[in-house]
Structure 1
Amino acid sequence: MPDINLCLEALSALSGCSVELTSGASQLTPQDFVNIVALKQFYKQEGFKELEYPSLGTLSLQDDGDLYGPPPALTEGPPPSIKATMKINIQDFFDPMFDYDFTNIQDGNTQFLRGNEKYVRPCGWNRVALRVNQRYDDGNGWLGTGKDAWPVSYHGHNMDGSLGIILTHGGDPSEEPRFLETAANSLITTEKKGRGVYSTPDVKMAEKYCKTFKSNVDGKMYKVVLQNRINPKERKKCQREDVWLVYIPEGRNDVQTRAIVQESIRPYGLLLKKV
C-alpha cells in the first residue's frame, strides 16, 4: 500500500473534503465516498453551488484548484468556504489484501472479463483497495469475475454531459431507440448536458478527466481515479461506446438521487498515478 498520507491526499483531492485519520469508526464508508464524488459532479452540472450530505453537512461544489499547492492570492470578496472534514479509520476503509500495483504491467492483447463484459485493467496505475467485501446485503457476486459480476467502470473528476452524450427534448434511456436517436441528434445541436452520472469502461479516457494534485509526502504530482463496478441494470450505454450513464430522471429529490447512485455504482479501488 502506498504511503497512507498520500492516500488521504488523493481522497481529499477527489472529494474536496479534508480527509483525516481517526482511531474510531470511519465517519463514512467507501460507498459514501463514491456517492459524494458522483453527486458533487452531478449537482455541479445542474448548476448548484452546494451539496448537502448526511453527517458531513454542506459541501461546496466550487472548483477546488490545486489542493496542496500554494494558497490563492488574496482578493476582495467573501472568504473561501471551509472544507468539510471526513474522518476514516485505515482498518475499516482500506483492504490491503487486494491492493494491486499495475504501474509496470502491460496487458497487450490479453483480454479480461467482468460480468461477461470487457475489463480494461488500469495498467500504469497503482490500485489501493477499498474495504467493500461483505459490505452489501446481496453478497459479493457483484465484485467477482463470473456472469453475475458487475462490469468495471472508472470515474474521472470532470466527467459530465460535456463529453457529448447529451439528452435533449426529454429523451428517456428507458426508450432506447428514441434515446439513441435523441443523443445522436444532440451531438449536433449541443443544447444541454445529459442528466446523470457519467463513467467509462476505459481508464485512459477517465485519465483525461481525472483530478491531479501535488503531494506533500514527496512533492510529486499525482493523478487519481476511482475504480468502480456499475450495475448493468442501471447503466445506460450512450452514443459513444466509451461513456456510460446512470440516468437520474427529473423531479427526484436529494434522497432519491442519492439512492439511485448508491444502487448503481460501487467503488472498490483508489487509483494513483505519478505524473
Structure 2
Amino acid sequence: MDVAALIQTDSDLITAAFSAIMGLHLSTSVSNSDRVEKVSLFDHHKTTYSYGQVGETPATSTADNRCLLFIKMLNNVTIECDVESNAKIEEIKARIHELQGTPSDQQRLIFSGKQLEDGKTMSDYNMLPQSTLHLVSKLHATNPVILDAATLDPVHNYDFTNIKDDNEKFIRGGERYVRPCGFKRFALNVSDKYENLLWIGCDNGKGEWPVSYHGTGDFDKKTIAQDGYALTRGKRYPFTRGVYSTPDINLAEKYAKKFTYNNEQYIVVFQNRVNPANLFKLQSSHSGTGDYWVSPSDTDVRPYGICIRKIENKAVH
C-alpha cells in the first residue's frame, strides 16, 4: 500500500471510530464545492472525559424527583442544571435556555463523546445524576461533517500492533508507562495548545506528565468513572468531582467503544497525559485489575492520542 493510500485508510478508520463515538455520520470525502463542518479531534477528545463524583457526596438542594447535571458551556464555564429525573434531552436544553439564555435549537449537547438526540432520555445514555455534559457549537444540518485533518499529527503516529513489551519497563512523568501494545496510536496535534511541550516529553524529564487512558463505553453497565468512584466512597478528598482515567491500557480496554470498519470490529481508547501534581491514585481491590486515577479538573488531563485495535470476532450484521 502506497503512502497516500495508507493515509486515506487511516483517515477512514479514525472517521469510523469517531462516527461511533459521536453517534453522528461523519463523511470521509467531500467535493471541493461542498461547504463542510469540521470537527476538531483535539476539542472533541476533551468531551469524552469520564467525569464523576469523588469521595463523600455533599447534599444537594434538588427535590426528590429532580437531579443535578453539570453543563460545561462554550466559554468553559461550568453551570449547575437541575432537571426532572430521567429528563428528555429537549427538557435539559429547555432548562439550559432558562438558566443561560441559549436557545434550545442552538444547543448541541455531548455526553461521553456522544451527541445527544431529542426524544431520548438520560437513561438512554446511561446518564446519572451529577453527570457532566458539554455544550458545543451547533452544526449546520445540511452540511457534511468531517474530521479536521489539521488536528492530527501523523508524524508522531506509532504502530504498536505487533509489539510486545513483556518485562520491558517505560517511565513517563515519574510513573510507569504501559504502552498500548496491540493498538495503532494516532497522534493529535498539540504543538500550539499549551505553554510548552515539556508535559509530553519521553525521557522522564522535568515537567513531564504521566500517561493515562480512558474509554467512552461501559463495562458491566458502568463507566470508568462509576467504577472509580466506588473506590473513593467513605473517604475524604480535597474535591468532590473529578475526571477518571487509568494508567493501564488493559483496564481501559474494558471501557472501550466498539465500532465497525470494512466489516470488521475495532475498539478505540483515548490516550492522555495527566498532571502529576494533582493526581490521586486508586488501587482496585479486585485481583488482576489495574489502578484507577482521578484528577480534580479537566485542565489536569491533556489529550494526545487515539488508540485503535482490531478485535478478533467479525462484525455481525
Q: Confirm whether residue 143 of structure 1 aligns to residue 203 of structure 2.
A: no
Q: What code does the residue aligned with 1:58 have?
A: R
What's the secondary structure of 1:244's corresponding residue?
strand
- Return the alpha-carbon distance in structure 2 between the equivalents of residues 221 and 79 of structure 1: 26
- Deviation at 1:122? 0.3
- Return the alpha-carbon distance in structure 2 between the equivalents of residues 25 and 231 of structure 1: 35
Q: How has the CA–CA distance of structure 1 residues 224 and 130 changed in structure 2, closer, same or farther, with 3 Å as cutoff? A: same
Look up the match of 1:236: 280
- Deviation at 1:42? 2.6
Q: 1:96 aligns with which of 154, 157, 171?
A: 154
What's the secondary structure of 2:305's corresponding residue?
strand
Superposition TM-score, scaled by structure 2 size: 0.60
What's the secondary structure of 2:302's corresponding residue?
strand
- Return the alpha-carbon distance in structure 1 between the equivalents of residues 189 and 264 of structure 2: 27
Contact 1:25–1:89, Cα closer than 8 Å, also in 2: no
Q: 1:264 aligns with which of 276, 295, 300?
A: 300
- Return the alpha-carbon distance in structure 2 between the equivalents of residues 169 and 116 of structure 1: 29
Q: Confirm whether residue 245 of structure 1 aligns to residue 317 of structure 2.
A: no
Look up the match of 1:156: 215
Q: How has the CA–CA distance of structure 1 residues 246 and 88 changed in structure 2, closer, same or farther, with 3 Å as cutoff? A: same
What's the secondary structure of 1:142's corresponding residue?
helix
Look up the match of 1:274: 310
- Return the alpha-carbon distance in structure 2 between the equivalents of residues 267 and 50 of structure 1: 21
Q: 2:107 aligns with which of 57, 65, 88?
A: 57
- Deviation at 1:19? 4.3
Contact 1:155–1:206, Cα closer than 8 Å, also in 2: yes
- Return the alpha-carbon distance in structure 2 between the equivalents of residues 170 and 109 of structure 1: 34
Look up the match of 2:89: none
Look up the match of 2:253: 207
What's the secondary structure of 1:97's corresponding residue?
helix
- Deviation at 1:51? 5.2
- Return the alpha-carbon distance in structure 1 between the equivalents of residues 113 and 53 of structure 2: 10
Could you list the per-position Cα deviations for residues 147-183 of structure 1 after superposition, in whole angstroms to 9, with x for gaps in the alignment?
Answer: 3210000011131122464434572147xxxxxxxxx
Q: How has the CA–CA distance of structure 1 residues 62 and 78 changed in structure 2, closer, same or farther, with 3 Å as cutoff? A: farther
Look up the match of 1:223: 267
Superposition TM-score, scaled by structure 1 size: 0.68
- Deviation at 1:43? 7.0
Look up the match of 2:47: 36
What's the secondary structure of 1:37's corresponding residue?
coil
Single out whichever of 202-211 and 43-52 deviates more from structure 2: 43-52
Could you list the per-position Cα deviations for residues 221-250 of structure 1 after superposition, in whole angstroms to 9, with x for gaps in the alignment?
Answer: 110000111111222112336110123xxx
- Return the alpha-carbon distance in structure 1 between the equivalents of residues 46 and 242 of structure 2: 13
Q: Over aligned residue pairs, what C-alpha RMSD do you find? A: 3.7
Contact 1:222–1:274, Cα closer than 8 Å, also in 2: yes
- Return the alpha-carbon distance in structure 2 between the equivalents of residues 212 and 199 of structure 1: 18
Contact 1:49–1:62, Cα closer than 8 Å, also in 2: no
Q: How has the CA–CA distance of structure 1 residues 164 and 42 changed in structure 2, closer, same or farther, with 3 Å as cutoff? A: closer
Larger radius of gyration: 2
Question: What 5-or-longer segments of structure 2 have no aligned partner?
Answer: 1-6, 58-66, 76-105, 125-137, 140-144, 217-222, 285-289, 312-317
Q: What code does the residue aligned with 1:143 have?
A: I
Q: What code does the residue aligned with 1:130 have?
A: L
Question: What 5-or-longer segments of structure 1 have no aligned partner?
Answer: 65-76, 175-193, 248-259
Q: What code does the residue aligned with 1:98 have?
A: H
Q: How has the CA–CA distance of structure 1 residues 140 and 52 changed in structure 2, closer, same or farther, with 3 Å as cutoff? A: closer
Single out whichever of 9-18 and 115-124 deviates more from structure 2: 9-18
- Return the alpha-carbon distance in structure 1 between the equivalents of residues 306 and 68 of structure 2: 27
The alignment covers a number of residue pairs equal to 224
Superposition map of 1:66-85 within 5 A: 78=119, 85=139
Q: What code does the residue aligned with 1:219 have?
A: N
Single out whichever of 146-155 and 51-60 deviates more from structure 2: 51-60
Q: 1:12 aligns with which of 19, 24, 47?
A: 19
Could you list the per-position Cα deviations for residues 119-152 of structure 1 after superposition, in whole angstroms to 9, with x for gaps in the alignment?
Answer: 0000000111111123212x10000023321000
